[in-house]
Chains A and B, each alone.
Chain A
Amino acid sequence: MRIALVGQPNSGKSTLFNALVGLKAVASNFPGTTVEILRGRASLRGKPAEVVDLPGIYSLQAGDPAERVARDFLLQEKVDLIVNVIDASVLLRSLSLTLELAELGIPMVVVLNMADEAEHKGLKIDKEKLSQILGVPVVSTVASRGMGLGELLTALPQARVPQPPPYSPRVEEAIKEALPLIQGEPKYSGLPPRHAVLTFLSEEKDIPPNLRERLGCGKEGDPAVILADERAALAARIFREVARLERTKPGLREHLDDILMHPILAYPFLLLALFLLFFLTFKMGGLLEGLLMPQLEALGERIREMLGNGVLAQALAGALDGLFAGIGIALPYLLPFYLLLALLEDVGYLPRIGFLLDGLMHRLGLHGKSIIPFVLGYGCSVPAVLATRILEDERDRLITAALAVMIPCAARTVVIFGLVGRFLGPWTALALYLVNILAVAIAAALLARIFPATGPGLIMEIPPYRWPTLRTILGKTWLRLREFVKVAWPILIGSSFVLALAEALGWQPYLDTAARVFTWPLGLPAQAGVPLVFGILRKELALLLLAQALGTENFGALLSPGQMLVFTVFTIFYMPCLATVGALLREMGWRRTLLVVLGTTGLALVLGLFARLLSLAL
C-alpha cells in the first residue's frame, strides 16, 4: 500500500509525515530527480505501508520543478491513496488543489491540519458537510502536537474516490466534447480520463475553436487560466457551504510583523538575527570541535601506526584524513548552522528575510528568494546549490547557483581565519567577508547585464509565525547535512586518497610546475601550486598542504602579508570544490557547470592580481 501526502507549501505536510513515519518506522530517504521526495515505511494499524511525502505544491499544473515532480509521481507510480493535507486556516485557497487531485480518481482522505490555527483566526469548518460534498473522509489534526492522528489512522481505510460537485455546465460540456478527441492519443493513454481531458484543454496549443468557444475563452483567453478560475469558483462555493468566519481580535502574532516587516525598524532585527546565526554557529562549532578533534587525532595516529609505511598504506591514511575531516567540519560547524537555519525557517522568519532584502536583490537582477541559497552557502556550497530549486525561473536558478558557490563555506572559513585571521588580524579577515559580498554583488550585476531578468519577480507566500517543532527542525537539518554526507563527504575521502597517493609517489614537482600558470602571475611561491591544485578537492586542504609544502605552520616566516592575502582571496573564489561541481552538474548540466568553473577561476585570478597590486601599493 502506497500513501502519498499531497498539499500546499506550509501546510504542515512534513510534520504529519514525520509523525506518521517517525514514530513507528525509520524513514528511508531517496532523492528525487530534482526535487526531494521522501519515503518512509510505516505500520498503520498493523498494516505495512509506504508513506511518500511529495514536495509542497499550489497546483498540479506543471509550473515549476516541484509541481512537475509531484504530478509525475502521482500519475506514474502506483499510488493507492492520497492524503490531501490542508492548512485549515487557508481552506478557501487550498480547495482548488483538492479539486485538481479529485480529478485523478485516486481514493483520498482530506486532512484539515493546523485546526488550532483556523480556530485562532475565527474560522469554523463543518467537517461532516465538507466530507459529504467531496465524498471522502475529512479529519482535523494538529500534527505538530500529534492531535487527530488516531482519527486519521481510522479514516484511512474509509478513503474513497472523491465525487466533488460538477463544474459549470459549459465546462462539463467541453469536457464531454473533448473526451473523444484524446482517445487513442498515446500522450493521454492510461491517464485518469477527467484529468487527461482537463490537461488536454489547458495545455494543448491548438484546441478546436468550438471548444474554445464553449469554454468562453474568446480569441485571447487562456483555457488554463479559465479552468483555474473555474476550480477556484467551485472551491469558493464549497467554502461558503462549509465554513463560517467569525471576527476575532488580531493577536500579538499578527502585530509582530508591524515591527519585523517595518520598512526601517525591521533591519536592526534582521542584522541581529544574522549576527546570532553566525555567532552561535561559531561558538557551538568551536566547542564541538574542541571536544572531537583531539580524540580523532589520537585515533588517527594509532591507525597510522598500524598501517605502516608503504605507498598504499599512506594513501589509505590519506583517505582516513578525509573521513576525519568530514567529521571535523561537518559535525562541529554545519550541524549548528543548519539547526539554527531550520529554526529561522520554521518560525517563519526566512521568507521575511527574502521580503526585506528583495529591494536590494532586485538591484542585482535577482529577487528576495535568492537570499536563502546565499545564506546556506556559508555552511556548505552543496546544499546551497541544491536550494536554488526554490526559485521558479531557470535563469534565476542558474545565476543564484553561480553566485552562491562564491560564498565562503565552512572549509574556506578555515583558510580565511587560519591564514589571514591569524597573521593579519581578525579585522582583515572580516573585511575579506565584506569584500566577498561586494565581489558577489558586482558579479551579480554583471551577470544581470549579460542575462537580463526574465522571471516575474518575487511571488512568495509569507506564512504566519509558528512555534517550531523539534522533530521538523531535526528533519530539515538532517536533510541538508545528508547532502553534505552523501555528496561532499565521499568526494572528500576519495580525493584525500588520491592526494596522499600523489604525495607517496612524489608527483608534487610536476603539479607545482603546472600550477605556475596561476602562482607566477599572483606572485606566490612555486610550492603554493600543490595546495591550490588539491584545494579543488577540499578547499580547507589548501591551508594544510601549504603548511606541508613550506615545511612550517608559521606562514608569517615564509610568506609576506601580501602573499597570504593573495593566496586566501584566490582560494575563496577559484573553481568550486569537486563536491560542489558534482552538485552543479546535477542541477544545470555540464556546459553551464564548465562556465561557472571557468568564470570563478577567472574572477579569482583578477581579484588575486588586484590584491597583489593593493598589497604592493600599501
Chain B
Amino acid sequence: MNINFSALPLSELSPGQRGSIYAVLGPGRGVQLRLSALGLRPGAVVQVLGYGPGRGPILLEVNGTRVALGRGVARRILVIPEKN
C-alpha cells in the first residue's frame, strides 16, 4: 500500500472543508467498529461543519448524518483533504 503524504488528522481540517477518510487508527477495536457503524471508515467523504469552543469537539457530516467527535478521536482519523 502506498503511503499518502497528503493525509492529515481530521482535527486539522477547517470548518467547511471536505476530505475522504484515508485511515482510522483505533484506539482499539470497539472504537473502530463504533466509528465504522456511523459511516466513518476508509473511503468515506466527510465535511467538517464546525468546532466546539475551546478544545471542544468537532461536528461533521458523513453520508448525510451529523456526528460529534471529541478531539482525541478526531486526531486518529486521517483524511485526504479535497482541493477547492
Contact = CB atoms under 8 A, between A and B. Distances in A.
Interface stretch (A30-38, A191-199, A456-464, A610-618): A456-464
B4 to A, nearest CB: 18
Given A229-B42, A232-B41, A61 B31 contact: no
A340 interface: no
Contact of B35 (A257, A355, A459): A459
A358 B34 contact: no
A461 B49 contact: no
Contact of A359 (B27, B54, B66): B54
A463 B41 CA distance: 19
A352 to B, nearest CB: 9
Interface string A446-463: 000000000011111111
A76 B66 CA distance: 34
A456 B33 contact: no
B33 A228 contact: yes
B41 A229 contact: yes
Interface string A357-379: 01110100001100000000000
A355 B67 CA distance: 10
A471 B57 CA distance: 33
A461 B40 CA distance: 12
B37 A358 contact: no
Interface SS, B side: mixed
Interface string B12-39: 0000000000000001111111111111
Contacts of A559: none
Contacts of B55: 359, 362
Contacts of A462: 59, 66-68
A238 interface: no
A225 B51 contact: no
A225 B29 contact: yes
Interface string B39-75: 1011000000111111111010001111111111100
B1 to A, nearest CB: 10
Interface in A81-116: 89-90, 92-93, 96-97
A362 B56 CA distance: 8
Given A92-B39, A359-B57, A222 B64 contact: no
Given A229-B36, A263-B50, A224 B29 contact: yes
A464 B28 CA distance: 29
B22 to A, nearest CB: 14
A264 interface: yes
Given A92-B39, A461-B67, A464-B66, A368 B31 contact: no
Nearest to B61: A462
Interface in A303-361: 351, 354-356, 358-360
A289 interface: no
B83 to A, nearest CB: 21
B52 A355 contact: yes
Nearest to B52: A359
B7 to A, nearest CB: 18
B56 A358 contact: yes
A59 interface: yes
A121 B38 CA distance: 18
A250 to B, nearest CB: 11
B59 A261 contact: yes
Nearest to B39: A93
B73 A368 contact: no
B33 A460 contact: no
Given A224-B29, A354-B68, A362-B55, A232 B36 contact: yes
A90 B39 CA distance: 10
A96 B36 CA distance: 10
Contacts of A225: 29, 32-33, 36
Contacts of B71: 457
A459 B70 contact: yes
Interface string A210-238: 00000000000010110011001000000
A464 B65 CA distance: 8
Nearest to B30: A63
Interface in A383-397: 392
A460 B56 CA distance: 13
B33 A59 contact: yes
B50 to A, nearest CB: 6
A86 B37 CA distance: 14
Contacts of A362: 55-56, 70
B38 A58 contact: yes
Interface in A254-272: 257, 261-264
Nearest to A453: B72
Contacts of A224: 29, 33
B32 A392 contact: no
A59 B67 CA distance: 17
Interface of A: 8, 58-59, 61, 63, 89-90, 92-93, 96-97, 121, 123, 222, 224-225, 228-229, 232, 257, 261-264, 351, 354-356, 358-360, 362, 367-368, 392, 456-464
27 contacts: A58-B37, A58-B38, A92-B64, A93-B63, A123-B64, A224-B29, A228-B32, A229-B36, A257-B49, A263-B52, A263-B53, A264-B53, A355-B68, A356-B52, A358-B68, A362-B55, A456-B28, A456-B72, A457-B72, A457-B73, A458-B57, A458-B68, A459-B68, A459-B73, A461-B38, A461-B67, A461-B68
Given A121-B64, A225-B29, A456-B31, 19 more contacts: A58-B38, A90-B65, A93-B37, A93-B39, A229-B41, A257-B66, A262-B50, A355-B59, A355-B68, A358-B68, A359-B57, A456-B27, A456-B70, A457-B70, A459-B34, A459-B35, A460-B67, A461-B66, A462-B67
Closest 10 CB pairs of A and B: A457-B70, A359-B56, A58-B37, A458-B70, A462-B66, A359-B54, A457-B72, A456-B31, A358-B57, A263-B53
